A = this chain, B = another copy of it.
Amino acid sequence: MKFSINRDQFVQSVQHVSKAISPRTTIPVLTGIKIEASFDGVTLTGSDSDISIESFIPLEDEEIQNVELEQPGSIVLPARFFAEIVKKLPEDTIELSVSEQFVTTLKSGSSVFNLNGLDPNEYPRLPEIEEDNVFKLKTDLLKNIIRQTVFAVSTVETRPILTGVHWAIEEGTLACTATDSHRLAMRNAKAETNTNDLSFSNVVIPGKSLNELSKILDDNEEWVDIIVTENQILFKAKNLLFFSRLLDGNYPATNNMIPTNSKTNVKLETKKFMQAIERALLLSRDGKNNVVNLKTLSNTHLEITSVTPEVGKVTEDVATLDFNGEELRISFNGKNIIDALRVIDSTEVTIDFTGAMSPFVIKPTEHENMLHLFSPVRTY
């Protein structure tokens, strides 16, 4: 194998596929990046066997020459060193050639690296996926969906299924749900489908996969094709394939958890409410449960308080924009509320309480594609 390649293109592809590579893998060849040069272009692959990422650099793209191919072939190079090296090479072009015993030479200007490579035939093949049932989302919408749900997944492994985000499609609407059993985030979006009757549920994508995918995708309006199989999901963007394993098991039924009535309804400015809770959390010591108390003071004000006996007490006064229903005292995990308010993308929110010991719902006022549910905390 021998080719010359545009450094910036190469650096970006290496960074993308590196996102899939775990230094803690037990399969030696997966510590490397697979590089394959063909008459179409150069393909890079990284994988930790849960996530696999393939990035393609065409020989030519929009009349710009990315790659000059002298001889096709393939090699696996140590990811950690390789990513650092390509970033720091001095010139705009990098020449890569493989000699005997997988020894690979990288040249750029006055700089020459000889790296010990690995046998590309030992690298596992990516899953082959049939593209019968495809739907698609614009990249920026996909990134928003991820941002607005994945924060709510569980980070403890006691119920592995809750470390993923549940996706379901029915009648062209994608419903994404994440919960750690104390709070739940739900986001709906219209998806373009290639068949009218595409429908699935119980597709649970690991939160980690969605986070890595989101980091790789640029904010733009290009389409991402999404294909779901029994145990894999594939995201196809321009010159990029992102495979993730799906989580095994049954996701809990969440629809019936959401209260439909409301005993106390308040409307608040998102930012003022969030800042008041942030200040209320300032006296919580590390590792504490972030408990914040809320009390309706009148039709026009809420009082938010937090006490840490050895340190002191915070009292915050928040004006309500609207108030209906009963007086209320309730305690909750303030950090969970802040997580939701950060992604809600609405200057005002409504909260529907159903009593001091029942879950409550926060919704944006400016759009209807999102809902956040919270369990209260018992403080006595």
The complex places the Cα of A111 from the Cα of B316 at a distance, in Å, of 5
Count of A interface residues, CB-CB < 8 Å: 31
Segment of A81-89, A157-165, A324-332 in the binding face:
A81-89
Q: Are B115 and A311 in contact (CB under 8 A)?
A: yes
Residue A203 interfacial (CB < 8 Å): no
Q: Are B313 and A113 in contact (CB under 8 A)?
A: yes
Residue A255 interfacial (CB < 8 Å): no
Q: Are A275 and B311 in contact (CB under 8 A)?
A: no
Residue among B90, B114, B276, B312 making CB contact with A111, cutoff 8 Å = B276
Segment of A187-195, A205-213, A214-222, A278-286 in the binding face:
A278-286
CB of A23 to closest CB in B, whole Å: 11
Residue among B78, B88, B318, B319 making CB contact with A279, cutoff 8 Å = B88
Q: Are B314 and A279 in contact (CB under 8 A)?
A: no
Contacts of A115 in B (CB 8 A): 311-312
Contacts of A312 in B (CB 8 A): 81, 103, 113-116
The complex places the Cα of A318 from the Cα of B90 at a distance, in Å, of 12
Contacts of A314 in B (CB 8 A): 111-114
Copies, count: 2
For window 77-133 of A, CB contacts with B under 8 Å fall at 78, 81, 84-85, 88-90, 103, 110-116
| Contacts A111-B316, A317-B110; A116 near B279 (Cβ below 8 A) | no
Residue A310 interfacial (CB < 8 Å): yes
The complex places the Cα of A111 from the Cα of B88 at a distance, in Å, of 50
A302-344 to B contact mask, C-beta < 8 Å, 1/0: 0000000011111111110000000000000000000000000
The complex places the Cα of A81 from the Cα of B282 at a distance, in Å, of 7
CB of A133 to closest CB in B, whole Å: 44
| Contacts A90-B275, A275-B90; A315 near B112 (Cβ below 8 A) | yes
22 residue pairs of the A-B complex, CB under 8 angstroms, read A81-B283, A81-B311, A81-B312, A88-B275, A88-B279, A88-B282, A110-B317, A110-B319, A111-B315, A111-B317, A112-B314, A113-B283, A113-B312, A113-B313, A113-B314, A113-B315, A114-B312, A114-B315, A115-B311, A115-B312, A116-B310, A116-B311
**Told that A110-B276, A112-B316, A116-B312 touch, could you supply 6 new A-B pairs with CB distance under 8 A?**
A88-B278, A113-B279, A113-B283, A113-B313, A113-B315, A114-B312
Chain A interfacial positions (CB closer than 8 Å to B) = 78, 81, 84-85, 88-90, 103, 110-116, 275-276, 278-279, 282-283, 310-319
